Structure formats: C-alpha cells, structure tokens
Amino acid sequence: MAFSSSCFSHSKIDAEHCHKLIVRNRINNLIKDWSFIRGSRVLVKQKAMRLASYRKPSPVYASLLSGSQLASTAFTIGTTSVLPFYTLMVLAPNSDLTKKSMQSNVPYAILGILYAYLLYLSWTPETVELIFASKYLLPELSSIGKMFSSEMTLASAWIHLLVIDLFAARQVFEDGQESEIETRHSVSLCLFFCPIGILSHVITKAMTKTIKENK
C-alpha cells in the first residue's frame, strides 16, 4: 500500500505504468511468502530426516554392545595384569622385588573383585539350570558349552583361570625358593598349562632330590 500511494503521488508516472508496478510488487511478495513457507517445510523435513537417521540404538542393542565391549576389556586387563608377575618369576627369581611381589595379595584381591563383577553380570535365571542340568544335579558338557556361549560368562571364566594359575605359579615359585629347586620352566607352564606346570614342578623336585641324595 505504501508503494501504491507513493506511485500515484508522482505526476510523471502514468496510471498504467503505476498499475504494472503495483501488480509486479504483489507478485514478488507472493513469491517470497511461498518461498519462505516452502523453504521452511523443506528445512523441517530435512531436520526430521536427519533426526530419524541419527536415532539412538535400541536399549537391547546398546546393552549387548556395552556387554561385549566390557567382556573384551576385562579379558585384556586380566591377561596383561598377570604377565609382570610371571616375568619377574622367570627372569629374576632371586631378586627382592620378585619375592616381595609374590608375597603380596593385592593382585588376587583385584582380580577376585573383577571376577565377581563379571560373574554378577553374566548370571541369568538359566544359569542354575545349566549347572545342575542332569537328573543327579551334576553339570553336563552340553549345558556348560551353552552357558559359555556368552562372552560375559567366558570372560569371567578366563579371569577365574588367571587367578588360579597365578596362585599355583606362586606356590611353585615359593616351594622352589625354599627347596632351592629350579622353577622357571614350571612357572612358565603354569601360565597357560597350569596342571602341566604343577606336574613339571613335582617331577623336577623329585629328580633334584634324587640327584642330591646320590651326591
């Protein structure tokens, strides 16, 4: 309206030309309004598509993913935490640092807490049924295999083995220190083959005793 009034106020512009300018101005305003509305609709639609494409995963998927990552992390931490103790017993069995480290119960407490936490996370209502699957309330191989199909259960079992193996290796090491028997080969076997490492120590101790008696 302001444009039309200003248009008719100039005597040099005729009525026909002024009418064309008014019509053109109205058309431009309509185009702008349409572009603004249309553009806002497109913008809202694009935002909605972006929100839909970046939706958070379902709680079930997220829990499975975090559980798998946690089991993998616990597996790595448990494995690397026991290696320094084996290294000391094998490379420096007579050093004071090795003897003091073997007397400490801190690694067993830490690994025990980690094991208890993983066991808590892996426990399900079916766990008891899988453990006492037979009619004699004894575990069966098939049921145990099904139970260990879970990564969390497998990680807890691995921590369990690491604690037992390290404890057995310490017993072998301390017994060797008291009896002055070579234990580095037996300790090394205890890392992955604990029963064989214990058997190796028994054989080594018996052979050493026989040799000393003959001398």
Higher pLDDT, 117 or 124: 117
Stated pTM of the model: 0.67
Cβ distance 115 to 160 under 8 Å? yes
CA distances from 24 to 7, 21, 30, 44, 152 (A): 13, 5, 10, 30, 73
pLDDT at residue 45, as a whole number? 44
The arithmetic mean of pLDDT across residues 152-170, rounded, is 96
Is pLDDT at 64 greater than 70 in this prediction? no
| CB-count exposure of residue 184 (10 Å: 0-12, 13-18, 19+) | middle
pLDDT, tens digit, 9 for 90 and up, residues 14-47? 556 565 666 566 656 654 554 444 444 444 345 4
Spell out the long-range contacts of 167-174 with Cβ–Cβ below 8 A and sequence spacing 24 or more.
Answer: 167/108, 168/194, 168/197, 168/198, 169/85, 169/86, 169/89, 169/194, 169/197, 170/85, 170/89, 170/102, 172/197, 172/198, 172/201, 173/89, 173/93, 173/102, 174/102
Give the pLDDT band of residue 134 (cuts 50, 70, 90): confident
Token reading at 213 = 């008696």
| CB-count exposure of residue 157 (10 Å: 0-12, 13-18, 19+) | middle
DSSP-derived secondary structure letter, 58: P
pLDDT at residue 19, as a whole number? 59
Terminal alpha carbon distance of the chain: 124
The arithmetic mean of pLDDT across residues 58-63, rounded, is 42
pLDDT, tens digit, 9 for 90 and up, residues 3-17? 444 444 444 445 565
Cα Dmax for the chain: 137
User: Helical H runs in 54-150?
Assistant: 59-91, 96-103, 106-122, 127-131, 141-147
pLDDT, tens digit, 9 for 90 and up, residues 65-78? 467 899 999 999 99
Higher pLDDT, 1 or 122: 122
